[in-house]
Structure 1
Amino acid sequence: MEKIIDIGKYVESAVNWLTENFGGFFDFIRMIGNGLIEGAESVLMFTPFYVLIFLLALLAFFKVGKGMAVFTVIGLVFIYLLGFWVETMETLALIVTSTFVALVIAIPLGILMSKSLLAEKIIRPILDFMQTMPAFVYLIPAVLFFSIGKLPGAFATIIFAMPPAVRLTSLGIKQVPSDVVEAARAFGATGTQLLFKVELPLALKTILTGVNQTIMMALSMVVIAGMIAAGGLGEKVLEGINNLNIGLGFESGLSVVILAIILDRITQAFGKQEHE
Protein backbone atom coordinates (compact mmCIF):
# COMPACT_ATOMS: atom_id res chain seq x y z
CA MET A 1 0.00 0.00 0.00
CA GLU A 2 1.28 3.45 -0.89
CA LYS A 3 2.28 5.62 2.05
CA ILE A 4 0.00 8.64 2.50
CA ILE A 5 1.48 10.20 5.62
CA ASP A 6 5.26 10.04 6.02
CA ILE A 7 5.92 10.82 9.69
CA GLY A 8 9.21 8.92 9.63
CA LYS A 9 10.67 11.43 7.16
CA TYR A 10 10.16 14.29 9.62
CA VAL A 11 11.52 12.31 12.55
CA GLU A 12 14.59 11.41 10.51
CA SER A 13 15.07 15.07 9.55
CA ALA A 14 14.79 16.12 13.21
CA VAL A 15 17.35 13.53 14.35
CA ASN A 16 19.75 14.49 11.54
CA TRP A 17 19.38 18.18 12.46
CA LEU A 18 20.18 17.42 16.10
CA THR A 19 23.26 15.37 15.23
CA GLU A 20 24.55 18.07 12.86
CA ASN A 21 23.94 21.07 15.14
CA PHE A 22 24.53 19.61 18.59
CA GLY A 23 27.47 17.31 17.89
CA GLY A 24 29.57 18.97 20.60
CA PHE A 25 26.83 18.50 23.19
CA PHE A 26 26.46 14.81 22.36
CA ASP A 27 30.24 14.38 22.50
CA PHE A 28 30.19 15.90 26.00
CA ILE A 29 27.37 13.56 27.09
CA ARG A 30 29.27 10.61 25.60
CA MET A 31 32.40 11.55 27.57
CA ILE A 32 30.49 11.88 30.86
CA GLY A 33 28.39 8.75 30.25
CA ASN A 34 31.33 6.57 29.27
CA GLY A 35 33.21 7.85 32.30
CA LEU A 36 30.38 6.79 34.64
CA ILE A 37 30.00 3.35 33.08
CA GLU A 38 33.73 2.67 32.89
CA GLY A 39 34.16 3.91 36.47
CA ALA A 40 31.52 1.46 37.70
CA GLU A 41 33.15 -1.32 35.67
CA SER A 42 36.58 -0.50 37.11
CA VAL A 43 35.30 -0.74 40.68
CA LEU A 44 33.58 -4.07 40.00
CA MET A 45 36.53 -5.50 38.06
CA PHE A 46 39.14 -4.32 40.60
CA THR A 47 37.29 -5.94 43.49
CA PRO A 48 38.14 -9.68 43.76
CA PHE A 49 35.21 -11.87 42.75
CA TYR A 50 35.04 -13.62 46.13
CA VAL A 51 34.78 -10.24 47.91
CA LEU A 52 31.87 -9.17 45.69
CA ILE A 53 30.14 -12.52 46.18
CA PHE A 54 30.59 -12.21 49.96
CA LEU A 55 29.23 -8.63 50.02
CA LEU A 56 26.19 -9.47 47.89
CA ALA A 57 25.51 -12.61 49.93
CA LEU A 58 25.78 -10.57 53.13
CA LEU A 59 23.31 -8.02 51.77
CA ALA A 60 20.96 -10.83 50.71
CA PHE A 61 21.23 -12.43 54.15
CA PHE A 62 20.31 -9.28 56.07
CA LYS A 63 17.63 -8.07 53.65
CA VAL A 64 16.03 -11.33 52.44
CA GLY A 65 17.24 -14.25 54.51
CA LYS A 66 19.55 -17.25 54.68
CA GLY A 67 18.02 -19.02 51.67
CA MET A 68 18.62 -16.06 49.36
CA ALA A 69 22.16 -15.64 50.68
CA VAL A 70 22.91 -19.28 49.81
CA PHE A 71 21.37 -18.83 46.35
CA THR A 72 23.46 -15.69 45.80
CA VAL A 73 26.69 -17.52 46.64
CA ILE A 74 25.85 -20.58 44.54
CA GLY A 75 24.53 -18.52 41.63
CA LEU A 76 27.49 -16.13 41.43
CA VAL A 77 30.06 -18.89 41.89
CA PHE A 78 28.29 -20.79 39.10
CA ILE A 79 28.55 -17.72 36.82
CA TYR A 80 32.26 -17.43 37.66
CA LEU A 81 32.85 -21.11 36.86
CA LEU A 82 31.02 -20.68 33.53
CA GLY A 83 33.59 -18.03 32.64
CA PHE A 84 31.12 -15.14 32.44
CA TRP A 85 32.27 -13.13 35.45
CA VAL A 86 33.69 -10.23 33.42
CA GLU A 87 30.58 -10.06 31.22
CA THR A 88 28.36 -10.18 34.32
CA MET A 89 30.24 -7.25 35.87
CA GLU A 90 29.93 -5.29 32.60
CA THR A 91 26.20 -5.96 32.63
CA LEU A 92 25.91 -5.01 36.30
CA ALA A 93 27.82 -1.76 35.69
CA LEU A 94 25.50 -0.88 32.80
CA ILE A 95 22.42 -1.65 34.90
CA VAL A 96 23.64 0.31 37.94
CA THR A 97 24.58 3.36 35.85
CA SER A 98 21.41 3.31 33.75
CA THR A 99 19.19 2.80 36.79
CA PHE A 100 20.89 5.64 38.68
CA VAL A 101 20.43 8.11 35.81
CA ALA A 102 16.86 6.91 35.18
CA LEU A 103 15.93 7.46 38.84
CA VAL A 104 17.57 10.90 38.96
CA ILE A 105 15.23 11.90 36.13
CA ALA A 106 12.19 9.78 37.03
CA ILE A 107 11.65 10.63 40.70
CA PRO A 108 11.47 14.43 40.19
CA LEU A 109 9.14 13.86 37.22
CA GLY A 110 6.94 11.62 39.39
CA ILE A 111 6.81 14.29 42.09
CA LEU A 112 5.88 16.89 39.47
CA MET A 113 3.12 14.62 38.12
CA SER A 114 1.68 14.18 41.61
CA LYS A 115 1.60 17.94 42.21
CA SER A 116 0.41 19.28 38.86
CA LEU A 117 -2.56 18.10 36.81
CA LEU A 118 -1.16 19.87 33.74
CA ALA A 119 2.20 18.11 34.13
CA GLU A 120 0.41 14.76 34.47
CA LYS A 121 -1.57 15.39 31.27
CA ILE A 122 1.66 16.15 29.41
CA ILE A 123 3.93 13.48 30.92
CA ARG A 124 1.50 10.51 30.96
CA PRO A 125 1.16 10.19 27.13
CA ILE A 126 4.95 10.47 26.83
CA LEU A 127 5.35 7.60 29.30
CA ASP A 128 2.79 5.56 27.33
CA PHE A 129 4.84 6.18 24.19
CA MET A 130 8.10 5.23 25.92
CA GLN A 131 6.67 1.97 27.27
CA THR A 132 4.87 0.81 24.13
CA MET A 133 7.44 1.73 21.49
CA PRO A 134 9.48 -1.40 20.57
CA ALA A 135 12.76 -1.24 22.46
CA PHE A 136 14.78 -1.86 19.28
CA VAL A 137 13.63 1.51 17.92
CA TYR A 138 15.49 3.35 20.69
CA LEU A 139 18.77 2.00 19.35
CA ILE A 140 18.46 4.04 16.14
CA PRO A 141 18.73 7.56 17.63
CA ALA A 142 21.07 6.24 20.33
CA VAL A 143 23.58 5.08 17.72
CA LEU A 144 23.17 8.25 15.64
CA PHE A 145 23.77 10.47 18.67
CA PHE A 146 26.51 8.49 20.41
CA SER A 147 27.85 5.95 17.88
CA ILE A 148 28.03 2.27 18.91
CA GLY A 149 29.27 1.16 22.31
CA LYS A 150 28.19 1.15 25.92
CA LEU A 151 26.67 4.64 26.10
CA PRO A 152 23.98 4.17 23.42
CA GLY A 153 23.06 0.93 25.19
CA ALA A 154 22.70 2.87 28.43
CA PHE A 155 20.74 5.62 26.64
CA ALA A 156 18.22 3.14 25.24
CA THR A 157 18.03 1.38 28.61
CA ILE A 158 17.29 4.64 30.47
CA ILE A 159 14.42 5.54 28.13
CA PHE A 160 12.93 2.05 28.29
CA ALA A 161 13.33 1.58 32.06
CA MET A 162 12.34 5.02 33.36
CA PRO A 163 8.48 5.03 33.09
CA PRO A 164 7.70 2.64 36.01
CA ALA A 165 9.67 4.81 38.43
CA VAL A 166 7.86 7.95 37.25
CA ARG A 167 4.41 6.36 37.51
CA LEU A 168 4.98 4.70 40.90
CA THR A 169 6.55 7.80 42.44
CA SER A 170 3.50 9.81 41.41
CA LEU A 171 1.14 7.07 42.62
CA GLY A 172 2.90 6.75 45.97
CA ILE A 173 2.65 10.46 46.73
CA LYS A 174 -0.99 10.60 45.64
CA GLN A 175 -1.81 7.71 47.98
CA VAL A 176 -0.52 9.53 51.06
CA PRO A 177 -3.63 9.96 53.29
CA SER A 178 -5.12 13.43 52.94
CA ASP A 179 -5.69 13.73 56.70
CA VAL A 180 -1.94 13.28 57.29
CA VAL A 181 -1.18 15.99 54.74
CA GLU A 182 -3.74 18.35 56.29
CA ALA A 183 -2.35 17.70 59.78
CA ALA A 184 1.16 18.57 58.60
CA ARG A 185 -0.11 21.77 57.01
CA ALA A 186 -2.02 22.64 60.19
CA PHE A 187 1.26 22.39 62.12
CA GLY A 188 2.80 24.92 59.73
CA ALA A 189 4.79 22.62 57.43
CA THR A 190 6.01 24.32 54.27
CA GLY A 191 5.63 22.68 50.86
CA THR A 192 9.23 21.44 50.96
CA GLN A 193 8.88 20.09 54.51
CA LEU A 194 5.61 18.40 53.57
CA LEU A 195 7.26 16.70 50.60
CA PHE A 196 10.47 15.52 52.25
CA LYS A 197 9.26 14.81 55.78
CA VAL A 198 5.75 13.48 55.15
CA GLU A 199 4.91 12.52 51.56
CA LEU A 200 8.16 10.93 50.38
CA PRO A 201 8.69 8.85 53.56
CA LEU A 202 5.11 7.55 53.41
CA ALA A 203 5.38 6.89 49.67
CA LEU A 204 8.78 5.19 49.97
CA LYS A 205 7.45 1.63 49.67
CA THR A 206 5.73 2.43 46.36
CA ILE A 207 8.77 4.36 45.12
CA LEU A 208 11.05 1.42 45.92
CA THR A 209 8.72 -0.83 43.96
CA GLY A 210 9.32 1.54 41.04
CA VAL A 211 13.07 1.21 41.58
CA ASN A 212 12.72 -2.58 41.48
CA GLN A 213 10.74 -2.43 38.23
CA THR A 214 13.26 -0.04 36.68
CA ILE A 215 16.09 -2.47 37.46
CA MET A 216 14.13 -5.39 35.99
CA MET A 217 13.35 -3.46 32.80
CA ALA A 218 16.99 -2.42 32.53
CA LEU A 219 17.94 -6.11 32.71
CA SER A 220 15.46 -6.90 29.95
CA MET A 221 17.40 -4.50 27.70
CA VAL A 222 20.68 -6.37 28.18
CA VAL A 223 20.39 -8.53 25.06
CA ILE A 224 19.11 -5.65 22.91
CA ALA A 225 21.96 -3.39 24.04
CA GLY A 226 24.36 -6.17 23.03
CA MET A 227 23.33 -5.53 19.41
CA ILE A 228 25.22 -2.22 19.45
CA ALA A 229 28.40 -3.52 21.10
CA ALA A 230 27.40 -2.59 24.65
CA GLY A 231 29.23 -5.70 25.86
CA GLY A 232 28.22 -7.83 28.81
CA LEU A 233 26.03 -10.90 28.88
CA GLY A 234 23.78 -9.54 26.15
CA GLU A 235 26.60 -9.69 23.63
CA LYS A 236 27.26 -13.32 24.59
CA VAL A 237 23.58 -14.19 24.13
CA LEU A 238 23.61 -12.60 20.68
CA GLU A 239 26.83 -14.39 19.82
CA GLY A 240 25.15 -17.68 20.67
CA ILE A 241 22.13 -16.79 18.51
CA ASN A 242 24.19 -15.60 15.53
CA ASN A 243 26.42 -18.69 15.58
CA LEU A 244 23.57 -21.08 16.44
CA ASN A 245 25.61 -22.03 19.49
CA ILE A 246 22.92 -23.41 21.79
CA GLY A 247 25.31 -24.01 24.67
CA LEU A 248 26.68 -20.45 24.70
CA GLY A 249 23.20 -18.96 24.35
CA PHE A 250 21.81 -21.06 27.19
CA GLU A 251 24.74 -20.44 29.56
CA SER A 252 24.78 -16.66 29.02
CA GLY A 253 20.98 -16.51 29.24
CA LEU A 254 21.06 -18.49 32.48
CA SER A 255 23.61 -16.01 33.87
CA VAL A 256 21.19 -13.17 33.09
CA VAL A 257 18.42 -15.03 34.93
CA ILE A 258 20.58 -15.61 38.02
CA LEU A 259 21.62 -11.95 38.15
CA ALA A 260 18.00 -10.86 37.67
CA ILE A 261 16.74 -13.06 40.53
CA ILE A 262 19.40 -11.75 42.92
CA LEU A 263 18.74 -8.09 42.10
CA ASP A 264 14.97 -8.58 42.13
CA ARG A 265 14.80 -10.28 45.53
CA ILE A 266 17.16 -7.80 47.21
CA THR A 267 15.43 -4.69 45.87
CA GLN A 268 11.99 -6.13 46.68
CA ALA A 269 13.16 -6.71 50.25
CA PHE A 270 14.02 -3.02 50.67
CA GLY A 271 10.43 -2.09 49.81
CA LYS A 272 8.93 -4.70 52.15
CA GLN A 273 11.09 -3.62 55.06
CA GLU A 274 10.17 0.03 54.55
CA HIS A 275 6.52 -1.00 54.66
CA GLU A 276 7.03 -2.84 57.93
Structure 2
Amino acid sequence: MKADTLQEGFLSHLRNERGLAASTVATYGHHLKAYLNTLKERGIVPAAATSKVVTAYLAGLHRRGLRSPSIFCAAIAVRAFYHFLMAQGDTSSDPTADLRLPKLTMRVSEPLSIEEVRRLLVSPSGRSFTGIRDRAILELLYCGLRISEALGLEAAHVHFDEGYVKVLGKGSKERLVPIGKMAAESLRWYINIRNRRFAAPSAALFLSRSGSRLSKNGFWRRFKLHATRAGITRSVHPHLLRHSYAVHLLAGHADLRSLQLLLGHSSLQTTQKYLNLDFNALKETCRRAHPRF
Protein backbone atom coordinates (compact mmCIF):
# COMPACT_ATOMS: atom_id res chain seq x y z
CA MET A 1 0.00 0.00 0.00
CA LYS A 2 1.30 3.49 -0.87
CA ALA A 3 2.63 5.70 1.89
CA ASP A 4 0.11 8.45 1.04
CA THR A 5 -2.77 6.02 1.45
CA LEU A 6 -1.41 4.78 4.79
CA GLN A 7 -0.99 8.34 5.99
CA GLU A 8 -4.53 9.32 5.07
CA GLY A 9 -5.91 6.21 6.78
CA PHE A 10 -3.95 7.07 9.92
CA LEU A 11 -5.14 10.68 10.00
CA SER A 12 -8.72 9.54 9.39
CA HIS A 13 -8.34 7.18 12.36
CA LEU A 14 -7.16 10.07 14.56
CA ARG A 15 -10.10 12.24 13.50
CA ASN A 16 -12.94 9.76 13.47
CA GLU A 17 -12.02 7.05 15.96
CA ARG A 18 -9.81 8.78 18.47
CA GLY A 19 -11.69 12.07 18.21
CA LEU A 20 -8.60 14.27 18.26
CA ALA A 21 -8.92 17.99 17.62
CA ALA A 22 -8.30 19.21 14.08
CA SER A 23 -5.20 21.12 15.20
CA THR A 24 -3.75 17.98 16.80
CA VAL A 25 -4.43 15.91 13.69
CA ALA A 26 -2.75 18.60 11.60
CA THR A 27 0.34 18.46 13.84
CA TYR A 28 0.54 14.67 13.51
CA GLY A 29 0.11 14.99 9.76
CA HIS A 30 2.87 17.59 9.47
CA HIS A 31 5.43 15.46 11.32
CA LEU A 32 4.39 12.24 9.62
CA LYS A 33 4.63 13.78 6.14
CA ALA A 34 8.20 14.91 6.85
CA TYR A 35 9.12 11.41 8.04
CA LEU A 36 7.55 9.67 5.04
CA ASN A 37 9.26 12.09 2.65
CA THR A 38 12.59 11.17 4.21
CA LEU A 39 11.84 7.47 3.76
CA LYS A 40 10.89 8.09 0.14
CA GLU A 41 14.16 9.91 -0.51
CA ARG A 42 16.03 6.89 0.87
CA GLY A 43 13.94 4.40 -1.11
CA ILE A 44 12.39 2.82 2.01
CA VAL A 45 8.72 1.90 2.34
CA PRO A 46 7.19 2.46 5.82
CA ALA A 47 6.78 -1.26 6.56
CA ALA A 48 10.49 -1.88 5.85
CA ALA A 49 11.81 0.81 8.19
CA THR A 50 13.91 -0.45 11.10
CA SER A 51 14.51 0.99 14.54
CA LYS A 52 17.84 2.33 13.27
CA VAL A 53 16.06 4.18 10.47
CA VAL A 54 13.64 5.84 12.91
CA THR A 55 16.41 6.72 15.37
CA ALA A 56 18.55 8.18 12.58
CA TYR A 57 15.61 10.29 11.39
CA LEU A 58 15.07 11.78 14.86
CA ALA A 59 18.81 12.37 15.27
CA GLY A 60 18.74 14.24 11.97
CA LEU A 61 16.05 16.57 13.31
CA HIS A 62 18.30 17.36 16.26
CA ARG A 63 21.27 18.11 13.99
CA ARG A 64 19.09 20.48 11.98
CA GLY A 65 18.48 22.48 15.13
CA LEU A 66 14.84 21.59 15.86
CA ARG A 67 13.80 22.29 19.44
CA SER A 68 13.08 19.42 21.80
CA PRO A 69 9.25 19.89 21.77
CA SER A 70 9.22 19.52 17.95
CA ILE A 71 11.43 16.41 18.04
CA PHE A 72 9.26 14.96 20.80
CA CYS A 73 6.10 15.55 18.72
CA ALA A 74 7.76 13.97 15.67
CA ALA A 75 8.62 10.86 17.70
CA ILE A 76 5.09 10.62 19.08
CA ALA A 77 3.60 10.95 15.57
CA VAL A 78 5.85 8.27 14.06
CA ARG A 79 5.24 5.91 16.96
CA ALA A 80 1.46 6.36 16.75
CA PHE A 81 1.63 5.77 12.99
CA TYR A 82 3.34 2.39 13.45
CA HIS A 83 0.94 1.39 16.21
CA PHE A 84 -1.85 2.07 13.72
CA LEU A 85 -0.14 0.03 10.99
CA MET A 86 0.34 -2.89 13.38
CA ALA A 87 -3.33 -2.79 14.40
CA GLN A 88 -4.39 -2.69 10.73
CA GLY A 89 -2.07 -5.54 9.77
CA ASP A 90 -0.14 -3.35 7.33
CA THR A 91 3.21 -4.19 8.89
CA SER A 92 4.54 -7.21 10.76
CA SER A 93 7.03 -5.34 12.95
CA ASP A 94 7.07 -2.07 14.85
CA PRO A 95 10.38 -0.17 14.53
CA THR A 96 9.32 2.12 17.39
CA ALA A 97 8.67 -0.69 19.88
CA ASP A 98 11.87 0.07 21.81
CA LEU A 99 12.05 3.73 20.92
CA ARG A 100 13.15 5.97 23.76
CA LEU A 101 11.34 9.27 23.44
CA PRO A 102 13.59 12.35 23.32
CA LYS A 103 13.92 14.25 26.56
CA LEU A 104 11.34 17.01 26.57
CA THR A 105 12.59 20.32 27.91
CA MET A 106 9.58 22.44 28.78
CA ARG A 107 9.87 26.16 29.37
CA VAL A 108 7.01 27.53 31.43
CA SER A 109 6.19 31.09 30.44
CA GLU A 110 6.19 33.78 33.08
CA PRO A 111 2.51 34.63 33.69
CA LEU A 112 1.11 38.06 33.09
CA SER A 113 0.59 40.16 36.20
CA ILE A 114 -2.97 41.02 37.18
CA GLU A 115 -2.33 44.59 36.02
CA GLU A 116 -1.01 43.38 32.65
CA VAL A 117 -4.12 41.22 32.24
CA ARG A 118 -6.34 44.19 33.06
CA ARG A 119 -4.63 46.37 30.44
CA LEU A 120 -4.80 43.60 27.85
CA LEU A 121 -8.50 42.93 28.40
CA VAL A 122 -9.48 46.58 27.96
CA SER A 123 -7.18 47.22 24.98
CA PRO A 124 -9.69 46.27 22.19
CA SER A 125 -11.86 49.11 20.96
CA GLY A 126 -15.40 49.09 22.31
CA ARG A 127 -16.74 50.84 19.23
CA SER A 128 -16.05 48.28 16.48
CA PHE A 129 -17.32 44.77 15.76
CA THR A 130 -13.81 43.30 15.85
CA GLY A 131 -12.92 45.13 19.06
CA ILE A 132 -16.04 43.97 20.89
CA ARG A 133 -15.49 40.42 19.59
CA ASP A 134 -11.84 40.39 20.63
CA ARG A 135 -12.69 41.64 24.12
CA ALA A 136 -15.10 38.71 24.56
CA ILE A 137 -12.48 36.21 23.37
CA LEU A 138 -9.81 37.63 25.70
CA GLU A 139 -12.22 37.43 28.63
CA LEU A 140 -12.87 33.75 27.87
CA LEU A 141 -9.16 32.97 27.62
CA TYR A 142 -8.78 34.46 31.09
CA CYS A 143 -11.51 32.05 32.22
CA GLY A 144 -9.14 29.17 31.37
CA LEU A 145 -10.14 28.28 27.80
CA ARG A 146 -7.58 27.26 25.21
CA ILE A 147 -7.70 29.43 22.11
CA SER A 148 -8.90 26.43 20.05
CA GLU A 149 -11.70 25.89 22.59
CA ALA A 150 -12.80 29.53 22.52
CA LEU A 151 -12.83 29.74 18.72
CA GLY A 152 -14.57 26.36 18.51
CA LEU A 153 -17.53 27.53 20.59
CA GLU A 154 -20.99 27.77 19.09
CA ALA A 155 -23.58 30.30 20.16
CA ALA A 156 -25.65 27.53 21.76
CA HIS A 157 -22.73 26.68 24.07
CA VAL A 158 -23.13 29.89 26.07
CA HIS A 159 -25.42 29.56 29.10
CA PHE A 160 -25.85 32.96 30.70
CA ASP A 161 -28.44 31.94 33.31
CA GLU A 162 -26.23 29.19 34.71
CA GLY A 163 -23.03 31.20 34.22
CA TYR A 164 -20.95 28.83 32.12
CA VAL A 165 -19.87 27.87 28.61
CA LYS A 166 -19.80 24.29 27.36
CA VAL A 167 -16.36 23.57 25.95
CA LEU A 168 -15.20 20.78 23.67
CA GLY A 169 -11.61 20.19 24.79
CA LYS A 170 -8.77 17.86 23.87
CA GLY A 171 -9.86 14.39 22.85
CA SER A 172 -13.39 15.73 22.24
CA LYS A 173 -14.01 15.83 26.00
CA GLU A 174 -16.76 18.17 27.12
CA ARG A 175 -16.46 20.31 30.23
CA LEU A 176 -18.40 23.19 31.74
CA VAL A 177 -16.32 26.30 32.42
CA PRO A 178 -17.68 28.99 34.77
CA ILE A 179 -17.52 32.54 33.44
CA GLY A 180 -17.43 35.65 35.60
CA LYS A 181 -19.55 38.78 35.40
CA MET A 182 -17.11 40.66 33.19
CA ALA A 183 -16.81 37.78 30.72
CA ALA A 184 -20.59 37.36 30.61
CA GLU A 185 -21.08 41.08 30.02
CA SER A 186 -18.55 41.07 27.17
CA LEU A 187 -20.20 38.02 25.62
CA ARG A 188 -23.69 39.56 25.81
CA TRP A 189 -22.40 42.73 24.18
CA TYR A 190 -20.68 40.79 21.41
CA ILE A 191 -23.61 38.45 20.71
CA ASN A 192 -25.94 41.44 20.47
CA ILE A 193 -23.80 43.21 17.86
CA ARG A 194 -23.09 39.89 16.09
CA ASN A 195 -26.79 39.19 15.64
CA ARG A 196 -27.42 42.72 14.37
CA ARG A 197 -24.51 42.59 11.93
CA PHE A 198 -25.43 39.21 10.38
CA ALA A 199 -29.06 38.50 9.50
CA ALA A 200 -28.53 34.74 9.67
CA PRO A 201 -25.24 34.13 11.52
CA SER A 202 -23.62 30.70 11.43
CA ALA A 203 -23.63 28.42 14.44
CA ALA A 204 -20.04 29.46 15.23
CA LEU A 205 -19.90 31.97 18.07
CA PHE A 206 -16.90 34.02 17.01
CA LEU A 207 -17.07 35.27 13.43
CA SER A 208 -14.77 37.14 11.11
CA ARG A 209 -15.94 40.35 9.46
CA SER A 210 -17.12 38.27 6.50
CA GLY A 211 -19.28 36.04 8.71
CA SER A 212 -17.16 32.87 8.70
CA ARG A 213 -15.73 31.22 11.82
CA LEU A 214 -12.74 33.19 13.09
CA SER A 215 -9.46 31.30 12.59
CA LYS A 216 -6.59 30.91 15.06
CA ASN A 217 -4.22 32.69 12.70
CA GLY A 218 -6.66 35.55 12.33
CA PHE A 219 -6.97 36.04 16.06
CA TRP A 220 -3.23 35.56 16.68
CA ARG A 221 -2.52 38.76 14.73
CA ARG A 222 -5.20 40.60 16.67
CA PHE A 223 -3.80 39.33 19.98
CA LYS A 224 -0.33 40.67 19.17
CA LEU A 225 -1.88 44.05 18.32
CA HIS A 226 -3.79 44.23 21.61
CA ALA A 227 -0.73 43.21 23.63
CA THR A 228 1.28 46.01 22.02
CA ARG A 229 -1.48 48.52 22.74
CA ALA A 230 -1.53 47.31 26.35
CA GLY A 231 2.17 48.14 26.69
CA ILE A 232 3.28 44.51 27.04
CA THR A 233 6.70 44.44 25.40
CA ARG A 234 7.76 40.81 25.94
CA SER A 235 6.77 37.98 23.64
CA VAL A 236 3.23 36.83 24.40
CA HIS A 237 0.70 34.40 22.94
CA PRO A 238 -3.00 33.66 23.56
CA HIS A 239 -2.25 30.61 25.74
CA LEU A 240 -0.50 32.93 28.20
CA LEU A 241 -3.89 34.21 29.39
CA ARG A 242 -4.94 30.65 30.27
CA HIS A 243 -1.64 30.13 32.06
CA SER A 244 -2.04 33.42 33.94
CA TYR A 245 -5.60 32.42 34.92
CA ALA A 246 -4.27 29.22 36.47
CA VAL A 247 -1.44 30.94 38.35
CA HIS A 248 -3.72 33.70 39.65
CA LEU A 249 -6.29 31.18 40.86
CA LEU A 250 -3.58 29.26 42.67
CA ALA A 251 -2.33 32.47 44.27
CA GLY A 252 -5.90 32.96 45.48
CA HIS A 253 -5.70 29.56 47.24
CA ALA A 254 -7.58 27.46 44.68
CA ASP A 255 -6.91 23.75 45.16
CA LEU A 256 -5.16 21.76 42.44
CA ARG A 257 -7.99 19.28 41.97
CA SER A 258 -10.48 22.05 41.20
CA LEU A 259 -7.96 23.69 38.93
CA GLN A 260 -7.44 20.42 37.07
CA LEU A 261 -11.17 20.22 36.32
CA LEU A 262 -11.38 23.87 35.28
CA LEU A 263 -8.44 23.53 32.89
CA GLY A 264 -9.59 20.19 31.49
CA HIS A 265 -6.37 18.35 32.30
CA SER A 266 -6.62 14.57 32.24
CA SER A 267 -4.19 14.17 35.14
CA LEU A 268 -3.26 16.19 38.21
CA GLN A 269 0.40 15.80 37.25
CA THR A 270 -0.18 17.93 34.17
CA THR A 271 -1.68 20.68 36.30
CA GLN A 272 1.24 20.60 38.73
CA LYS A 273 3.83 20.96 35.97
CA TYR A 274 1.77 23.61 34.22
CA LEU A 275 1.65 25.95 37.17
CA ASN A 276 5.37 26.17 37.85
CA LEU A 277 4.87 26.93 41.53
CA ASP A 278 7.51 29.25 42.90
CA PHE A 279 9.17 28.58 46.23
CA ASN A 280 7.48 31.49 48.03
CA ALA A 281 4.06 30.10 47.09
CA LEU A 282 5.03 26.70 48.47
CA LYS A 283 6.22 28.29 51.71
CA GLU A 284 2.95 30.19 52.01
CA THR A 285 0.99 26.94 51.55
CA CYS A 286 3.00 25.34 54.35
CA ARG A 287 2.49 28.38 56.58
CA ARG A 288 -1.29 28.18 56.17
CA ALA A 289 -1.65 24.40 56.37
CA HIS A 290 1.13 23.11 58.67
CA PRO A 291 0.61 23.38 62.45
CA ARG A 292 4.34 23.86 63.14
CA PHE A 293 5.06 26.63 60.63
- Give the TM-score band, short-chain normalised: under 0.3
Computing the radius of gyration from Cα coordinates, the structure with the larger value is 2
TM (normalized to structure 2)?
0.25
Which one has the bigger strand percentage? 2
Which one has the bigger helix percentage? 1
